Chain A
């Protein structure tokens, strides 16, 4: 993928676009726009951030509803605690920060203050996986694994601008705590308008009998491009998009995997504890004994650098997916 908007070879400054849009159309701040729209008909929705409003696309909501927006400063534990308190008064708080801070830093608060009481708070977390060149301090490469362990927490990893907007609406309707990964800034459009998102449902996007790619988050865009390229090489490649990590759509995943000769998982996350682990557990439970090729980040901290350079190095690009699948033989 070309990554036209981004100069390779340097670390990006805070707030610069980090999604590699390539040849696709894009939408600015799909989450913030969707939330501001929802706010019109939902006076119970409130917005929160911990000094990262500018960088988590929530400012359209703040500008529309300044009285229903609270910036608690650099204090992620308090961000979650305050959101919990607001939820107890009947509000539906959307709290934004970076994934690393919502998870590693505020974990006890998400687990005990929110999830233990099933409070109706939505945590929207920027910089998921390897989408920033800021290094290990800012790359939420293990957030899905961490959050999966919290009972009752719904976890969403959307693919594109269309799905972010649809998921924002869906989680606002959903009763209970949610962790949603956020692609921010200029976000590519992969799915046509009219694409429907349903919490807990996986979507078959391509059918193929040779290889079945099971993907989540931004990796689905790349899986689709890879499947097109592989098809031209005579490798029939299916794609199953799994935007909900919890609850996991085990039935559809097992069904999809059963119809593929090779199974490949693709995630913007370490291959420990995230999508790959979920798929393997699902196949084992379903009695499907097949090898699974896991595409994702290695079990190590990632260095600083330009996002396209790092994503290429760690195999998150379309080219890398093609190469891995072509090598399956």
Chain B
């Protein structure tokens, strides 16, 4: 979506339908591959829909446009969600989604920057925010008003480099930098291994303009992004409380939701459950 001016009023219903489409793509990808980080992907779908179809300024036909807003997915294993968003945004073909995680596919299980629309190699956690700081500094040197959005997760906050980056962002007063912290309460060994609370308090203490919202409430997500756009002088942290597996009760309640591997018949059951819950939504 090419935007040369700040986004206008959001059509919340349209964005919710986009989030549904992203979730549908993800479920299909996970079924075809038999596995995936579907819990995280379903959880972050609302934020990605708000970003790619309301907030971010970019041109799908000119991905290297210097004044584009950047979106950095620090948690590279959420790639399933990013592929869905990039496909809906017209950056990669929707038909290509079936190749997710397959040999020789460019839609890896963890992001590489060789795929169009990807701004960094994610997956080695704790890398995203510092790279966002560097991009925000570079854009400021170029007097560009483009902004940098970095997604990271609550588990990822355990990587010390996150805090190195957080310190530097507030020191450099990077008000064009927005961190989206996906707090879904799960990490590789299960429920968050170290208590990260108070999450918002930590970001605030590091000098960030901080808000905390239900990350699966589209109106709240759009509101927080709008608010972040309007404040100056500090980097912004939006703490998104998300539900892993959002939209599919069977995944929402699963302890395995960090990485989900089940057989095809079960996937079909999950997809049926999802379609029933969204009803006639496109």
Residues of chain A having any CB pair with chain B under 8 Å: 46, 67-68, 70, 72-73, 75, 77-78, 80-91, 93, 108-109, 112-113, 116-117
Pair A82/B121 contact, Cβ less than 8 Å: no
Question: A70 to chain B: closest CB distance in Å?
Answer: 6
Q: Which residues of B contact A77 (CB under 8 A)?
A: 126, 130, 160-161, 164
Give a binary string over B125-158; 1 marks a CB under 8 Å from any A CB, 0 the rest: 0110111111111110110000000000000000
Say yes or no for B119: interface residue by CB 8 A criterion: yes
Q: Which residues of B contact A73 (CB under 8 A)?
A: 164, 167-168, 171
Interchain CA distance A82-B120 in the complex, whole Å: 12
> Quick one: which of A70, A75, A108, A117 contacts B137, CB cutoff 8 A?
A70
Interchain CA distance A308-B281 in the complex, whole Å: 77
Pair B131/A84 contact, Cβ less than 8 Å: yes
> Quick one: which of B135, B167, B172 contacts A70, CB cutoff 8 A?
B172
Pair A75/B168 contact, Cβ less than 8 Å: yes
Tell me the nearest residue of chain A to B146, going by C-beta: A89
Say yes or no for B124: interface residue by CB 8 A criterion: yes
Q: Which residues of B contact A91 (CB under 8 A)?
A: 138, 141
Pair B160/A113 contact, Cβ less than 8 Å: no
The B interface, classified by DSSP as helix, strand, loop or mixed, is: helix
Interchain CA distance A82-B150 in the complex, whole Å: 13
Pair B138/A85 contact, Cβ less than 8 Å: yes
Pair A46/B127 contact, Cβ less than 8 Å: no
The A interface, classified by DSSP as helix, strand, loop or mixed, is: helix
- Total interface residues on B, CB under 8 Å, equals 30
Q: List 17 A-B contacts (CB under 8 A).
A: A67-B141, A72-B164, A75-B167, A80-B130, A81-B130, A81-B165, A82-B133, A85-B134, A85-B136, A88-B120, A89-B134, A93-B134, A108-B124, A109-B127, A109-B130, A113-B120, A117-B121
With contacts A75-B164, A91-B138, A117-B121 taken as known, whether A82 is within 8 angstroms of B171 at the C-beta atoms is no
Tell me the nearest residue of chain B to A83, going by C-beta: B134
Q: Which residues of A contact B113 (CB under 8 A)?
A: 117
Give the top 4 A-B pairs by smallest Cβ distance, nearest first.
Answer: A85-B134, A81-B130, A89-B138, A75-B164
Question: A181 to chain B: closest CB distance in Å?
Answer: 24
With contacts A72-B168, A75-B167, A75-B168 taken as known, whether A85 is within 8 angstroms of B127 at the C-beta atoms is no
Interchain CA distance A88-B126 in the complex, whole Å: 18
Q: Which residues of A contact B133 (CB under 8 A)?
A: 78, 81-82, 85
Which residue, A77, A81, A83, has most C-beta atoms of chain B within 10 A? Answer: A81
Question: B167 to chain A: closest CB distance in Å?
Answer: 7
Tell me the nearest residue of chain B to A106, going by C-beta: B161
With contacts A77-B130, A81-B131 taken as known, whether A88 is within 8 angstroms of B119 at the C-beta atoms is yes
